[in-house]
Structure 1
Amino acid sequence: MSSNNQVISTGTTNRDGVAVFDSTAATSRFRLSLITAQKDADFTFLNLPQSRVETSRFDVGGLQSNAARYQAFLYGDRDLYRPGDTVRTNTIVRTEAWQAPPANLPVKLRLLLPTGKEYASLRQKLSADGAFESRFILPSAIMTGLYTLEVLTGNDVLLTSRQISVEEFIPDRLKVTVQAAPAVAKPGQSVEAQITALNLFGPPAADRKFEVEFSLKEKAFKPKNFPNYTFQISSGERKRGNGYDQEATPISDRFEKTTREGTTDAAGRGTATYEVPDYSDLGTLEGAAFTTVFDESGRPVNRLATFEVQTQPVLFGIKNLPELVSTRQAVSTQLVALTPQGQPTTAQAQVRVVRLLWETVIERQGGRYIYNSQKREEVITTQTRTVGANRGRKRRSASPLPTPASTRCAWPGPAPPPTWPAAFTPTVLVTPRAIPLR
C-alpha cells in the first residue's frame, strides 16, 4: 500500500512463506508505506515509516573492497599496553573468494603515533597459510595515547587497521577493607564503617586520610516463597509527569548522603559512624558505606560495604491479579503479612478499595484549546483486617465494580487526606471495566 492508500502490488507466499513482489513496487510513482498479510481471518500489517531503525550510530556500511582485492584480519594479545611493553600482533590475509594469497607476498605493518605520524614500520612476507606475526617494543619514555596499527600491501594499499592504547598504569599501593556493623540496623541506630588500610607488602598504612560516604536507597523485598505477591511501597507523594500523568516519586528522593572524614591510626585502622535517620514504614532499605582511602601521593583507593535498615516489623503484600479478568464478576485476592526475614506472621492491616476515575477536561494553552485527561481517586470502602490466619495469608473478596479500581494495604489508622501517606501502599490496577482484587 502507498502512503495515499493505493495498492501498489500484491503477491502470494510460496511454500517457504516468502512472497516476492515484482518491480512495480520499486518503479511506482507512489511511495511505499504499508504492507499487509492475510490468511482467512488472520490479519497483520507492517507500517514501514513507523518501523524504521536509526542507524547513524551503527556501522552498517558493510564490507568494502579495495584496489588489492584482499581482506586482512589483524588481532593482538590485548588492547592496553604500558610504556616498556611489547606489542605482539598476528595478521591473516585472504582474497575476496576467501582463499589464501600466494606465499611470500610482501606486506607492511605500520604503527602510528597518537599525533598521526609514523613511529615504526615492519616489512613481512606471508606464509603459505597467508599469515604473519610481528612485534613492536615500546620504549619506557614513549608517548602515551591512542596508537593505530595499519596493514598495507607492498604498494601501500590499506587493508585494515586497529587501535591500541598506551597508558601509564600504576597499581594500587594500599590494600583497603571495610565492614559495616551491624549488618542489619534499625532506625535511629548507629552504623560503624570499620576501615583497615595496609601498604602492599609493607606495614600498616598509618596516618592516611579517608572519606566515607553513607547513603540509603530502596531495596526490593522479594521473598522466595511468595513470588506472585507485590510488596512495592508508595512514597505517598505525587508529581506531574509527561502527558500530565500523576506519577509516584521514588522513596530515595527523601534520603540525603552523609560524608565522614578521618585519618587512620598507627595500626592503619579507622572508624566512621553513621546515625540512621528515624524513618518508619518505608520497608527495607539498603545502606552503603563508600570508603575512599588516599595513599601518600594522594591517589584514591575505593571500597564499598553495605548494610540493611529495617523500618517496619511487618511487610504487607498483595497477590498479583491476572492481566485480564471477567467483568461483572466478583474477584478475590490474597493478602500476606511477612517479617523482614520473609517468614509469615500475623498483623492488622487497613485495606482500602479505591476507584480510579479519568475525567477529560478542556484546557486553554496559548491560543488553542486541548483535551487533558486527569485521574481522580474515589475511596469505595476501607476495612481493617487481620492478616495471617493462614500462613500469613488472608483472602479478601470483592463484588463487581463498574469502573477500574485498585487495592491498597497499609497499617491501620485514621483516614488520611487526599494523598495516601500509607506505611505500605502497593497498588494493583485493573484494566478498564475489569474487576480488581479487593
Structure 2
Amino acid sequence: MSSMKLRRTSLSTILVTLFLLFGCSSSNVVEIVSVTPQGEVPLLATIEIEFSKDLAPPDKQNMWLEDEYVEFTPAIAGKFKWVSARRLLFSPDAPLEAIQEYEAEVSDLVLFQTGLSPDFDDFTFHTPDFDAVKADVFWTHIPHQYYTVTVQANLHFNYPVQPEQLREHLEVRRDGERIADVQIISEQPSEVIAVTIGEVQQEDAEQLFTIAVREGLMSVVGKKALQDTREFNTALPPITQLAVTGVASGYDGATGWIEVATTQMVDEKDLDEYVRVRPGRGLQYFVSDNIFRIEGDFGSEQTVELIIEKGLPGMFGGKLEQEFRQQVSFVDIQPAVNFADRRGRYLMFGGEHNLEINAVNVDELDIEVSEVFANNVLHFLNQHRWFDYDYGYNPTFYVGDFGKELYDETVQLSTGRNWLGRHVINLKRVLESRRRGIYVVRASSSEDRWIQDSKIIALSDLALIARLADDQITVFVNSIEKGLPVEGVDVTVVSTNNQQLFSGRTDAGGMVRFENVRLEADGFTPRMLTAVKGEDFNFLDLDDARVETSRFDVGGLSQPSREYVTFIYGERDLYRPGETAHISGIVRNEHIRPVSNTPVICKIISPRGRVFREYKLGLNAEGSFEQAVDIPDYALTGRYKIEVYNGAEVLIGTSAINVEEFVPDKVRVRLSGKEKSYRPGERLRVDLEAEYLFGASAANLRYEADVQLKHRAYRSDAYPDYSFSHSSVKNTRIENTMLDGTLDA
C-alpha cells in the first residue's frame, strides 16, 4: 500500500516538474505574430513585422536604423524603424524588382539584450507577375479616312510590352468570329497598347468583342511570361448610341479632374452644354480619343455629382440615350518627393548652397547628406551608371564605403492634403568636411523611404569643358561665378579602371592640352576628369557628358597639307560659258598666322582631268591672292577643280566650281491656310501658290505633298518656365498623308 502511494507521489512530482519546465520555456520564447503585406506585394511597399513580446529598447525606437534585422534574398536596400517595442518596419530605398520572389529571415539582432529565445519562421513574398489588366473598346476614325470608322481597343498591362511581341499573342473576335484585319498602332513599348480592328460594318445591334491575349507573351522585364490566356469581353453599343464606360478622378493641388470614357469620341464644344459637375467652378474640358477630361476648382470637396444629360452627341452620330449620374470621389494623389532641378549637378562654391525639394502628401522629410571621397568618385559613378528609368522612379544613389554620411535631419512639412510643398535644403554644413569629393543628397518620406529622390552634387566654382580628339585631350576651365578662364587649376585624366593617365595645370587662358594620348595612355581609356584648385574640387564624367555628334559634321578640316590651311572661294560656284570667274584664296600656317610674300601656283582642272588654266601668283602681306579666270564660250560644261600649290609644287588647298550651259528654272512655293486652328473632325484647307523665280506662274506642274501633323507642347507667356506637358491625357498618333496632283492654270 505504501509502495503504491510512493509511485503516485513520484508521478505527480514528475508531472509538476514537466509543467514547470514547459511553462518557463513557453514564457521565454518570442514569435512572429504577423507580417504585412504577405503573398503578392506591390513594387512600392513597406513591410511591417509584429512580434509577440516587447523587444526594442526606447533609445532604438522611432528612428531609421541600418542594422540588418531581417535578411532578404535577393538583397533589398533599405532601413528599419521600430515604431514600438514589438513592431518593426522595413522601408526599401527603391521600388522592389518586378516579377521577383523574395525570402526573408529574421535575425537574432531583434532580441537585443532581452534574453528571450527566438522561434522565428522564415517568410516569403513576391512582386506581381506579368498580367494583362483590361481592354477598352470604342469607335474611332480610320486615320486620314474620316468618312470611315473602325473600332479601337486599348490593352492595359501592368508592365510595358513590345508591340511586335503582342502581335504574335493577340486574337480578336467579334460575335464569335475571328477578325484577321487587326493592326497594332503603338510603336514603342508601353503599358497601354492601342489596336485597331479595321473597317467595321456599322450595325444597329450591339456587338460583342472578345480580345484574347495568349499565354507566353513576355513583357520588357522578361523573367516570366504570361502564364494563362486572358480574355476580355466587351459589349460595344451600335454607332447610333453613345455609352459611358468608365469614370476616374483625381486631385492635384487646387485643381481636381474627372476623366470619362465613352464608346466614341465627343466634340469638346458640346461638353459645356451637356455636362455638369455639382459643386464645381471654372470647369475646362479636354478630349482625347474616347476620353474627355474635366478640370476645375472643386474646393475642398471630397465628393461631387457628375451629370451628363441625355442627348450628348458623339462624333459618329451616336447619342446618349439616358441621363448619366454618378457620385465621384476625389482620391488622394500618390505621395511623391522630387528635386525641383532633376538634372543639374553643380552648385557654386561661393554661392548659397541651396537645393529645392518638392513634396506632396508627405508630412515629414528625412534629409541625408553623404560625401563621396575624391579617390572613390569613379567607382561610385560606375556603381550607378546603368540606373533603370523604365518605370519612372527616381534614382537612388548608395554611398556605402565610397564615403561617409555627414549628417541627417528630419523636417516637418505643413502643406495641406494634395498640395505641393516646397522645402529648401542648405548644404553649407558639408563645407565642414576636410576631404575633397562630391556629395549625395537624399530626401525621403519619414514613413515610406521608397518615396524619395537622390541627387549627386558638386560644390565648385570650376566649370569644365573637354574635347576628346583621336590623339589629344583639351580641357577648358572657367569660373562659374565670373565666366572667366581660371589659371593654375590642376587637371587629372583618370582611366576607366581608376588609373591616373595625365595631369597638368591650366594656363592663363584656362586651358590645358594633353598630347600623344594613344601612345601615353598605353591601352587605357580616359573616363573622368578631376580639377583641383585650393579647396575647390570638381569632376567631369566623360561618358555622361559626351555630346552625341552623329547628327553634326564634326570631321574638322580636310587639308592636303599639315603646314598650311587654305581657304579658296569665288563670288559664286556656278558659271555659264563666256563668263569670268573671280577666284580668291587665303593661306595660313598651322598656327593660323598669314603666310605673306610667298609664291603659289593656281591650277584649274577641267572635267576631263586636264589643266585648263595655270597661274603663277604671289601672296600679299595678308596671305591672300585673287585671280580672274575667263571661261570661253566653247568651254566644256561640268565640274572644274581648283588646286593651289606652294612654290615647291606641294598641294596645299583645293576647291571647285561648276560650268553649266543651262540651269533649270527654280520655283517658289507659298502655303497659306484660311484658319489658324481647327477642331477634331473639321477639314483642314491649305492653299498652294507656285511661281517661277522670274515671275511667271507655275501652271500645270505636277506636285507631290507629304502632310505631317505633329503635336506641339503648350506654352504660356504668363508662365514661361512652367512645363504643361505632364498630363494623363495622351496625344494620339497622326499618320502622314501623301497627296499628288496637277496645279491649275
- TM over 0.5, shorter chain: no
Q: TM-score with structure 1 length normalisation?
A: 0.40
Q: TM-score with structure 2 length normalisation?
A: 0.26
Q: Which has the higher helix share?
A: 2
Structure possessing the higher relative contact order (Cα contacts under 8 Å, 6 or more residues apart): 1
